[in-house]
Amino acid sequence: PLILGIETSCDETGVGLVRGTTLLANAVASSVDEHVRFGGVVPEVASRAHLQAIVPTLERALTEAEVTLDDVDAIAVTAGPGLAGALMVGVSAAKSLALALDKPLYGVNHLVGHVAAEQLENGPLTEPVVALLVSGGHTEILHVTEIATAAEMLGQTLDDAAGEAFDKVARLIGLKYPGGPHIQRAAAEGDPAAIRFPRGLTSQRDMSRHRYDFSFSGLKTAVARWVETAEREGRTVPVPDVAAAFQEAVADVLTHKAVLACTERGVRTMVLAGGVAANARIRDLTRERCAAAGIELRQPRLSLCTDNGAMIAALGAAVVEHGLPPSSLDFATDSSLPVTQVAV
Ligand code: ATP
Ligand code: MG
Ligand code: FE
């Protein structure tokens, strides 16, 4: 079946088309430029941008896939988590389409969608897998036994998400929003060993209580202190070194705990997903450590890591294939939809 996927949980308006695990189209319009001067996503601005972009993005996706709306067999849309007003634009559009075309509608989980996106890269998942989900709002280690129905959370961040840490640290060292790509670029010129920043929740004591959990607020504070001290002493802040050392600390703790989860659970496959999974150092270190531990690593291309509609279509396809009933047309959006709820 041909599945249309619609994503509007944050600042990307995404419309994708997939058949099974085959990617046919992935059209994305981002309002990121409108948020840069505010240093973060402004919800009202994002909602308004979705409203303007949703129909043109849908048209682009249909053209790219060389199909018409009549060809679509089912519609999937992000029901949550995300910004309430932003989610409502996508869900309203999806409900209207479902009603007008008389097609089944599936409200699905954005976070599980990030994991499902990988199937568009390397084909059907062979569960169980451990997913390291690293994005702007979430940092979690998931144990996925069936992508359409069952995602269990093994651990999560106790404070900032990894992407949030990238964004906040970027601001501290004078780099623009969104911080991830800017830090990566600066880090390429720096020495990751120049400064040793803390790895949160990795002490022996923390590992017994928070084995698969993360904490990035201490790291962020450590960077702030380091920069303050340098400035007080009249030294120029070596932005590339700070960026590289920070990025290394994040990559180290993320990959260490995800590999541990795989080996301790006896899981042979890891999926790296979410916007922060676009980070080159995180991708490289994950690959290295998975190889050393005999774990198969699956990671989607960059355009499938950051928010997009194809990932939602991919999850919709899995849900349809699993024979689950469509959502009723009166479902609400849920800003904090738990990752354990794959579909609404
Ligand atoms: P969530 O999925 O939790 O709802 P979100 O959808 O806003 O949050 P994504 O779009 O998946 O998050 O990811 C955006 C985040 O990814 C931002 O914090 C951004 O800085 C980060 N990011 C993007 N590219 C990179 C990169 N190359 N390195 C590090 N971080 C990156
Ligand atoms: Mg975004
Ligand atoms: Fe996301």
pLDDT digits (tens, 9 = 90+) for 16-39: 999 999 999 999 999 999 998 898
Q: Residue 270 — φ and ψ, nearest 5°? A: -115, 140
This prediction has a pTM of 0.95
Report the amino acid identity of residue 160. D
How much is the pLDDT for 209?
Answer: 96
Atom of ligand 1 nearest to the CA of 305: 11
72 CA distance to ligand 3 centroid (A)? 24
306 CA distance to ligand 2 centroid (A)? 7
Average pLDDT for residues 333-338, to the nearest whole number?
Answer: 97
Look-up of token digits 């795989």: 262
ipTM above 0.85 for this complex: yes
How much is the pLDDT for 15?
Answer: 99
Continuous segment of H or E residues that includes residue 320:
helix 309-321
Is the CB–ligand 1 distance for residue 157 below 6 Å? no
Atom of ligand 1 nearest to the CA of 274: 11
Quick one: which of 2, 7, 21, 6 has its CA closest to 117?
21
Is the CB–ligand 1 distance for residue 31 below 6 Å? no
205 CA distance to ligand 1 centroid (A)? 30
**What is the Cα–Cα distance from 116 to 109, expressed in whole angstroms?**
10
Asked if residue 79 has pLDDT above 90, the reply is yes
**217 labelled binding-site residue:** no
Is the CB–ligand 1 distance for residue 282 below 6 Å? no
Residue-by-residue DSSP string for 207-258: HHHSTT-B--HHHHHHHHHHHHHHHHTTPPP-HHHHHHHHHHHHHHHHHHHH
Asked if residue 211 has pLDDT above 90, the reply is yes
Q: Residue 198 — φ and ψ, nearest 5°? A: -70, 150
Is the CB–ligand 1 distance for residue 135 below 6 Å? yes
- Which tens digits make up the pLDDT trace of 80-121? 999 999 999 999 999 999 999 999 999 999 999 999 999 999
Is the CB–ligand 1 distance for residue 163 below 6 Å? yes
Atom of ligand 1 nearest to the CA of 280: 27
Is the CB–ligand 1 distance for residue 307 below 6 Å? yes
328 CA distance to ligand 3 centroid (A)? 24
24 CA distance to ligand 2 centroid (A)? 22
**122 labelled binding-site residue:** no
Atom of ligand 1 nearest to the CA of 41: 7
User: Which percentage of the chain shows pLDDT scores above 90?
Assistant: 98
Average pLDDT for residues 299-314, to the nearest whole number?
Answer: 97
Pairing of strands 12-19, 2-7: antiparallel
**What is the Cα–Cα distance from 214 to 156, expressed in whole angstroms?**
6
Is the CB–ligand 1 distance for residue 54 below 6 Å? no
234 CA distance to ligand 1 centroid (A)? 33
Asked if residue 150 has pLDDT above 90, the reply is no
How much is the pLDDT for 337?
Answer: 97
Is the CB–ligand 1 distance for residue 300 below 6 Å? no
How much is the pLDDT for 304?
Answer: 97
Is the CB–ligand 1 distance for residue 182 below 6 Å? no
